[in-house]
Amino acid sequence: MEQEVIQPSAEELVLSTDSSMVCETYLFEPTNAETRLGFLFAAGEIEHRDGVGKPLLDSIITAIQREYYRDPSRSSATSFEMALHQANLILHDTADSGVRDWMGHFHVAVGVLAGSQLHVSVAGAGAVFLARKSVVTNISQGLSHFPITDPLKTFSQVASGTVMTRDSLFFTSSTFDSVFRSVDVGRFSLEHSASTIASRLEQLYLDQDHKAPLSVTVVTLLPQYIATAKQEVPLKRSAQPVGMDASTIQPRTPLLVKKSAFQQALVFVSSLLKAVGNATKKRIWPMLKRGSAQGGRAVAEASKEATKKASTLRVPKLSFKSTVGNIKKLPGSSKLFAGIAVLLLIALGVSIVLLRHKQASDQAIQAASEQLHEARTKVDAANTALIYDNRTQATGLLDDAQKIADQLTTEHIYVQETETLKNDIQTQKDKIQRIFRTTTTNSHVLGSVASATSNKSPNRIFFVDNAIYTANPDTNTIIKLSSDGKATPVHQTTSGIGFITSGTMQSADKTILFNTDPIGLALFDTKDNSLTSQTIAFPNAKPQITDLAVFGNRLYIYDATQKNIFAYNKTLKGFIGGTPWITDASQQSGDIKSFAIDGNLYTLSAGGKIAKFFRGAITDFTQAPVSPALDSATRIYTTDTMQNLYVLDPINKRVVIFTKKGALVRQLYIDTAKSLSDITISPDETHLYALDGTDIVDVSLTDGTVASPAP
């Protein structure tokens, strides 16, 4: 049986006689490109607040409308959740700026109808009712909390379901179920259009002389063949400020803040003092001026008389000795009272100082508490933004929270709470930057080569045939570290070669090719532990080799003096050729620190820039940015069996892992490292081995460190 086509029609009903309240309804229909997202309905109620309440309500609904229809390729459920998230962020920013009065009276019901799929959410005491066969049900029951205490959770939950033809929907503000009986609503809804239902509800409201403010968006879902669309007010986009950028919408003026009883008392006292001041200025002050003038004349005359007699008077000279003598002459009771008075005076001074210190301390604690709460709110907001992959906004919120945490650290108040906050901030930042940190559960020291190298750190390590190989830079002793962590010298005597400085491995042949100082090459075969000198003719008499790699039967060497990579062919005793490999002239001036080959060639230049070459010419590679930048990176590593590129950044104690197209996979931080200098990876990419001084650290890559490439 063919499914009936649902034809929605809607009617707006606003009933309010209270000028202090704002009730609004909203209807939005899709454009042709947005058809799959369906229709958006809303009803809201907020306090007027001297003309500020309506712009705030309009801003929120506009933000929901714009975000919901922004990307028609998304599903209706995803678009609806993203739209509600955007509304929550705007409300959070509004509250964060000090405008919080709306939280006490903000009742909104919003929903979308995409075909037969219905998604609804409410804020405050808003509600959505479904009338089916005269039975009315509150389908938004329990979706919100009132009053609103956390702006980020204003629209906290979504209810979804399937509607049927002949159903009726009511998106209402706070008083619908107290104004209308469900039996009346169900009776009105039977086989009636939205305009008829709204008209009857309005008549019933007036007949019963209700005064409660109410906004209702009535939606009927009649089969298309009996729909009376011509008699309805057609669905349209509500004439709201849709041209505004919903991500930056803010109320135009602050909401009024209700005064507490204490604040009202202060206002009364202030008014009383003002009245007393005015009375003093008009009446008492002139009287004081007249009395002062008369007193001044009397004092002047007395002063003249005193001047005449001053020559006959003798002023006694005061001294410390005479003062002490006078004190001794005082009665004992007077001395006792004087001592008590001095002690009380001292106690009073100390009390005043302590009280002021206590007051300052209390104010500092209160300010720190508010700052801590603000930072915690920003971290929660960043976590919510990350759920919707809004990394830019999350980064800004975390940066603000970090500044507050740093300030709290300097004040030494709420030390433990601040430390917890900073840890949470770091955790969120790690999520944004895809940072993974080694722990005792996924890493351990495999072994040490200190005894075989006289405690001197080697330059390089190589993973060959399930073992780690390295060389003593002073003696050329080759050391093997087995999987059980045991270090064993496997070759100790050398002749005809210089000191080993670096090298590269070839897993297929189970060999390691070392370069030496003076300039030369030596081949170590792990099958028989032999080390033999290799012949090679360099194009430059004094080449400066910074890195080398072997792929197939060819050797590639970067000569820093000529700023190019040279390719050599394998012979029985060494290598011949020395052909410049980079043919792109614009790439021949780069300062290459390291390179790796898997068929393509990847270079790591000074400044951390990675370039990808194929047959000597640069090819497409989009390197994802990381923070901090890779300015101090020293080595890039991969082979033809690996899926990823590994970039060593020893100063920041990390290995940054990219796909071979440049997407960021992970940033692996080895926080316990003291002197990180080289890495090698098992061919199956299950283990990373890091050279930390003379220790070899084994890091597991199978517990989430290297997962699927980043999207």
Q: Where is pLDDT greater, at 610 or 367?
A: 610
Report the C-alpha gap between 559 and 630 in whole angstroms. Answer: 22
Q: pLDDT at position 263, please?
A: 46
Task: Over range 594-623, report the average pLDDT.
Answer: 93
3-class SS of residue 388: coil
Task: Over range 77-83, report the average pLDDT.
Answer: 92
**Residue 619: pLDDT band by 50, 70, 90 thresholds?**
very high
CATH topology for 443-700 is: Neuraminidase (2.120.10)
Report the C-alpha gap between 428 and 430 in whole angstroms. Answer: 5
Residue that has been written with the tokens 């919903």 in this structure: 246
Task: Over range 660-689, report the average pLDDT.
Answer: 94
CATH topology for 6-248 is: Phosphatase 2c; domain 1 (3.60.40)
Task: Tell me which residue of 196, 201, 192, 93 sits closest to 151, measured CA to CA.
Answer: 93
Mean of per-residue pLDDT scores for the chain: 83
Tens of pLDDT, residue by residue over 486-531, are: 999 999 877 778 899 999 998 889 999 999 988 899 999 999 999 9
Q: Among 414-418, 421-425, 440-444, whose mean pLDDT is lowest?
A: 414-418
Report the C-alpha gap between 500 and 132 in whole angstroms. Answer: 85
Q: pLDDT at position 111, please?
A: 96
Residue 594: its H or E element:
strand 592-597
Q: Where is pLDDT greater, at 183 or 110?
A: 110
Q: Positive or negative CA dihedral for 68, 70, 73, 74?
A: negative
pLDDT higher than 60, residue 394: yes
Q: pLDDT at position 386, please?
A: 74
pLDDT higher than 90, residue 7: no
Q: pLDDT at position 228, please?
A: 45
Q: pLDDT at position 208, please?
A: 87
Tell me the two tokens of residue 161: 């379901």
Tell me the two tokens of residue 393: 């906004």
The number of CA neighbours under 13 Å toward the Cβ of 446 is 24
The number of CA neighbours under 13 Å toward the Cβ of 86 is 23
Task: Over range 327-351, report the average pLDDT.
Answer: 78
**Residue 305: pLDDT band by 50, 70, 90 thresholds?**
low
Task: Over range 385-407, report the average pLDDT.
Answer: 84
Residue that has been written with the tokens 């080694």 in this structure: 438
What 8-state DSSP symbol labels residue 663? -
Tens of pLDDT, residue by residue over 103-156, are: 888 999 999 999 899 999 999 999 999 998 889 999 998 898 878 888 888 998
Q: Among 228-237, 400-409, 617-626, whose mean pLDDT is lowest?
A: 228-237
Strand partners, 506: 511
Decide whether 6-248 matches 443-700 in CATH topology.
Answer: no
Q: pLDDT at position 345, please?
A: 84
Q: pLDDT at position 261, please?
A: 46
Report the C-alpha gap between 135 and 182 in whole angstroms. Answer: 8
Q: pLDDT at position 242, please?
A: 34
Tens of pLDDT, residue by residue over 461-485, are: 999 999 999 999 889 999 999 999 9
Which residues, in sequence order, are CB contacts of 287 under 8 Å at separation 6+? none
**Residue 316: pLDDT band by 50, 70, 90 thresholds?**
low
Tell me the two tokens of residue 598: 């898997």
pLDDT higher than 60, residue 705: no
Task: Over range 290-310, report the average pLDDT.
Answer: 59
* Alpha-carbon distance values, 11 to 60, 202, 217, 537 (Å): 21, 12, 6, 89
What 8-state DSSP symbol labels residue 296? H
Task: Over range 349-376, report the average pLDDT.
Answer: 80
Task: Over range 219-231, report the average pLDDT.
Answer: 62
pLDDT higher than 50, residue 232: no
**Residue 281: pLDDT band by 50, 70, 90 thresholds?**
low
Q: Where is pLDDT greater, at 148 or 235?
A: 148
**Highest mean pLDDT pick, 102-106, 140-144, 274-278, 442-446:** 442-446
pLDDT higher than 70, residue 532: yes
**Residue 294: pLDDT band by 50, 70, 90 thresholds?**
low
Task: Over range 239-250, report the average pLDDT.
Answer: 35
Residue 137: its H or E element:
strand 135-138
Q: pLDDT at position 689, please?
A: 97
Report the share of the chain in percent with pLDDT over 70: 82
Domain ranges of the chain: 6-248, 332-432, 443-700
Q: pLDDT at position 41, please?
A: 96
Q: pLDDT at position 81, please?
A: 92
Q: pLDDT at position 193, please?
A: 85
pLDDT higher than 70, residue 306: no
Q: pLDDT at position 173, please?
A: 87
**Residue 231: pLDDT band by 50, 70, 90 thresholds?**
very low
Task: Over range 189-218, report the average pLDDT.
Answer: 89
Q: Among 48-57, 275-284, 593-602, 634-643, whose mean pLDDT is lowest?
A: 275-284
Which residues, in sequence order, are CB contacts of 157 under 8 Å at separation 6+? 121, 142, 143, 144
pLDDT higher than 70, residue 293: no
**Residue 230: pLDDT band by 50, 70, 90 thresholds?**
very low
Task: Over range 237-246, report the average pLDDT.
Answer: 36
